């Protein structure tokens, strides 16, 4: 029995593939942004605010 | 300079990451506005880099053998991304180059062939990073570093302050730093100077 020609795979899967890859890419980038970058900036800002407060207290 | 150097700002012990740590991947902790800008630019670029790398990780074009349009898209879009990165990068580069009215000038001269016997290290000192005489500079003061060398090319670098400048024989290079917090900041010669 002959095997049917494997054709049209790209056309059939293009939206799934595009959606999956873009979805994964965007969610990974946002995961990095919200779970790594934003907390690190917040930690830094809190440290410098605390430092500033301590300096003001020391000065007054 | 290859004997390494260190900036000590006061006697307060620092618990921050101002020296390289084993298996460290990220940056050292920021201590100057210049380095803050560098880290910020890097982190913003990382967002787009992760997006591009994961998106292009083989899911889209797994059945694709040839396609002129897609070839064009993935040649032109990285070029546009590079142009988009170039603008903030150049802005930061030229901003870092400015030496704003320094209140203090430190001249740094690089020397070759300094060695420290390991037996001289005291408890708690960092191997290949600690020095006998620490350079002490004030915080919240614009400091200018004038950098040169006596023999071969060296490079004055303190990662936490975002400083990395070549020390060239017969030439004076300058850079500046505004240190925002107290700490003990470590750096090494960042040029292949033969030591």
Across the interface, whether the CB atoms of A37 and B60 are under 8 A apart is answered no
Contact list, B66 vs chain A (CB under 8 Å) = none
A33 touching B (Cβ < 8 Å)? yes
Q: What is the per-residue pLDDT for B115?
A: 65
Does any CB of chain B come closer than 8 Å to the CB of residue A45? Answer: no
For a pLDDT cut of 70, what percent of chain A falls above it? 98
Alpha carbon distances (Å) from B102 to B85, B174, B180? 30, 11, 15
Q: Single out the residue of B150, B165, B158 nearest to residue B131, CA to CA.
A: B158
- Which tens digit of pLDDT belongs to each residue from B25-44? 888 889 999 999 999 999 99
Dihedral sign computed on CA atoms, order B39, B41, B44, B46: negative
Which residues in B have their CB inside 8 Å of a CB on A?
30, 43, 46-48, 50-57, 59-60, 62-64, 180-181
Q: Quick check: B54 and A44 CB within 8 A?
A: no
**Cβ-defined contact of A51 to B181 (cutoff 8 Å):** yes
Domain boundaries, chain A: 30-59
- Write out chain B residues lying below 8 Å of A49, CB-based: none
How many beta-carbon pairs under 8 angstroms link A with B?
51
Q: In chain A, what residues touch B30 (CB-CB under 8 Å)?
A: 44
Q: What is the pLDDT of residue B61?
A: 65
Q: What is the DSSP letter of A5?
A: P
Cβ-nearest to B63 among A13, A18, A37: A13
In the predicted model, what is the mean pLDDT of residues B4-24? 58
Residue of A nearest to B27 (CA): A40
SS (H, E, C) chain B: CCCCEEEECCCCCCCCCCCCCCCCCCCCCCCCHHHHHHHHHHHHHHHHHHHHHHHCCCCCCCCCCCCHHHHHHHHHHHHHHHHHHHHHHHHHHHHHHCCCCCCEEEEEEECCCCCCCHHHCCCCCCCCCCCCCCECCCCCCEEEEEEEECCCCEEEEEHHHCEEEEECECCCEEEEEECCCCCEEEECCCCCCCC
d(CA B159, CA B19): 8
Using the 8-state DSSP alphabet, how is residue A41 labeled?
Answer: H
Q: Give the C-alpha separation, B7 to B84, whole Å.
A: 36
Whole-structure pTM over 0.95, yes or no?
Answer: no
Q: Which of A20, A32, A47 is facing B47, going by the closest CB pair?
A: A32
C-beta atoms surrounding B13 within 10 Å: 9
- Are B190 and B8 in contact, with CB atoms under 8 Å apart? no
Q: Is the pLDDT of residue A50 over 50?
A: yes
**Residue A57: pLDDT over 80:** yes
Q: Strands B142-149, B104-110: parallel, antiparallel or unpaired by DSSP?
A: parallel
Q: How many CA atoms lie within 13 A of B108 on its CB side?
A: 34
**Cβ–Cβ gap B60/A24 under 8 Å:** no
Asked whether the ipTM of the predicted complex exceeds the cut of 0.90, the reply is no
Q: How many CA atoms lie within 13 A of B71 on its CB side?
A: 5
Residue in A13, A21, A37 closest to B55 by CB: A21
- Scanning every residue of chain A, which has its alpha carbon at the shortest distance from the alpha carbon of B63? A10
- Please report how many Cα atoms fall inside a 13 Å half-sphere around the Cα of residue B74, on the Cβ side: 12
The shortest C-alpha distance from A8 to chain B (Å) reads 9
B68 — pLDDT class (breaks 50, 70, 90): confident
């Amino acid at each position: 029995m002959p095997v049917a020609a494997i054709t049209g795979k790209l056309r059939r899967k293009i939206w799934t593939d595009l959606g999956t890859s873009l979805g994964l890419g965007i969610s990974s980038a946002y995961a990095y942004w919200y779970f790594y970058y934003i907390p690190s900036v917040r930690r830094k800002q809190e440290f410098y605010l605390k430092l500033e407060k301590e300096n003001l207290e020391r000065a007054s | 300079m290859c004997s390494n150097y260190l900036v000590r700002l006061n006697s307060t012990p620092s618990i921050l990451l101002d020296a390289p740590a084993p298996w460290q991947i990220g940056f050292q902790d920021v201590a100057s506005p210049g380095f803050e800008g560098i880290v910020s630019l890097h982190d913003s670029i990382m967002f787009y880099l992760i997006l591009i790398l994961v998106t292009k990780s083989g899911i889209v074009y797994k059945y694709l053998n040839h396609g002129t349009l897609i070839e064009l898209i993935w040649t032109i879009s990285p070029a546009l991304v590079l142009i988009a990165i170039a603008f903030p990068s150049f802005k930061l580069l030229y901003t870092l180059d400015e030496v704003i009215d320094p209140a203090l000038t430190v001249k740094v001269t690089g020397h070759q062939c300094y060695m420290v016997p390991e037996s001289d290290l005291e408890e708690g000192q960092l191997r290949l990073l600690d020095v006998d005489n620490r350079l002490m500079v004030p915080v919240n003061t614009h400091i200018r570093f004038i950098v040169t060398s006596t023999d071969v090319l060296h490079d004055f670098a303190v990662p936490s302050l975002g400083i990395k400048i070549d020390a060239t024989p017969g030439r004076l290079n300058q850079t500046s730093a505004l240190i925002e917090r107290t700490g003990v900041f470590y750096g090494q010669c960042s040029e292949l100077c033969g030591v």
